[in-house]
Amino acid sequence: MDILLQYVVKSFDRSTKVIDFHYPNELLQEYNWELADQPQTLEEILLNCRTTLKYAIKTGHPRYFNQLSTGLDMVGLAADWLTSTANTNMFTYEIAPVFVLLEYVTLRKMREMIGWPGGCGDGIFSPGGAISNMYAMLIARFKMFPEVKEKGMAAIPRLVAFTSEHSHFSVKKGAAALGIGTDSVILIRCDERGKIIPSDLERRIIEAKQKGFVPFLVSATAGTTVYGAFDPLLAIADICKKYKIWMHVDAAWGGGLLMSRKHKWKLNGVERANSVTWNPHKMMGVPLQCSALLVREEILLCPTLVTADSLSLLASCCMSVSCFKWKRCPAIPVGIHYPIA
């Protein structure tokens, strides 16, 4: 505990280095990396812990400006320690009563903030935004062709999805993993600020239909990975409605703005989405990892993910607790971080 707290104090100290950089070969030469057959003593293990933190990047440092996660939140960190101490997983109420209830109210609150009446719908925490995006694709495909669950891709027509040229690579990866194929993800042009051009989206949908493909998903991005651009969600929602296509919003990064009175307008139209990816571990400073997929229609998630031999929604047998790491503020129920700005 002392070693960890010393590291935390150093992380907050502006005068310390963010990184003590060494090339891989230097680190490999300096230390013995062999996994010995004999057990190590506790002293040796503690020494290894110190060494590990010596070379760790201090992601909570005030001068840390690398990818996408922000700061080190002490309440979140304490909650992470509590979660690891409880060392349970999320598959049933029986094994994790408080965590399961907390997950339920947290996901409902997130859906309320998206703008779905009364927080209606469903949701699931997942190992990250990429998996949440893949879940969205899975559910959209199931909604259009439920038979795909039992019969596979051979039983359905050739699907196509649309996303911007600045969207996260996970959209293509999801298509690869689900057997839809990366060639079936059509990249739509963006304007000079990195936002999708709606007229180009509509043109490409019409083109795909003329070729006999079935458009099943548009994945808009609220906060692109490189530019931080917000796609015009209202215009995209109109197009999805017109062509009866599932609208997903990848708000993995930008979702945190839904907590800001000043900036949440950037996500206007997100309430018209069928599903939303939102990663509190990005802009909201919640410790890694914490990603949610929210779905507007209540009865979709279960039939898509549950199989006869497993009642769990989780892809694996168990999953860590993601929802406990947010701060509580008196005006807002448990599990929700303080509003930004």
Ligand X SMILES: Cc1ncc(COP(=O)(O)O)c(C=O)c1O
**Residues engaged in binding ligand X (CB under 6 A):** 68, 128-130, 133, 168, 170, 221, 223-225, 250, 252-253, 279, 291
Tell the smallest beta-carbon distance from residue 99 to ligand X (Å).
20
Tell the smallest beta-carbon distance from residue 154 to ligand X (Å).
29
CA 242 to each of CA 156, 206, 237: distance values in angstroms, whole numbers, following the listed order: 22, 11, 9
Instruction: Give the nearer residue to ligand X in terms of CB position, either 11 or 133.
Output: 133
Instruction: Give the nearer residue to ligand X in terms of CB position, either 126 or 304.
Output: 126
Helix (H) or strand (E) holding 199: helix 198-210
Contact 246, 240 (CB under 8 A): yes
Tell the smallest beta-carbon distance from residue 130 to ligand X (Å).
4
CA 20 to each of CA 53, 55, 57, 68, 308: distance values in angstroms, whole numbers, following the listed order: 10, 6, 8, 21, 51
Instruction: Give the nearer residue to ligand X in terms of CB position, either 148 or 293.
Output: 293
Instruction: Give the nearer residue to ligand X in terms of CB position, either 123 or 223.
Output: 223
Return the number of other C-beta atoms located less than 10 Å from residue 72's C-beta: 18
**Number of residues assigned to the chain:** 341
Identify any residues that bridge with 121 across adjacent strands, giving them in sequence order: none
Phi-psi region of 333 (alpha: psi -120 to 50; beta: other; left: phi over 0): beta
Residue number of the CB closest to ligand X reads: 129
Tell the smallest beta-carbon distance from residue 179 to ligand X (Å).
20
Tell the smallest beta-carbon distance from residue 119 to ligand X (Å).
23
Integer-rounded Cα radius of gyration of the chain = 22
Identify any residues that bridge with 163 across adjacent strands, giving them in sequence order: 187, 219
Tell the smallest beta-carbon distance from residue 278 to ligand X (Å).
10
Q: Which two tokens stand for residue 211?
A: 């070729």
Instruction: Give the nearer residue to ligand X in terms of CB position, either 223 or 335.
Output: 223
Q: Which two tokens stand for residue 85?
A: 């101490």
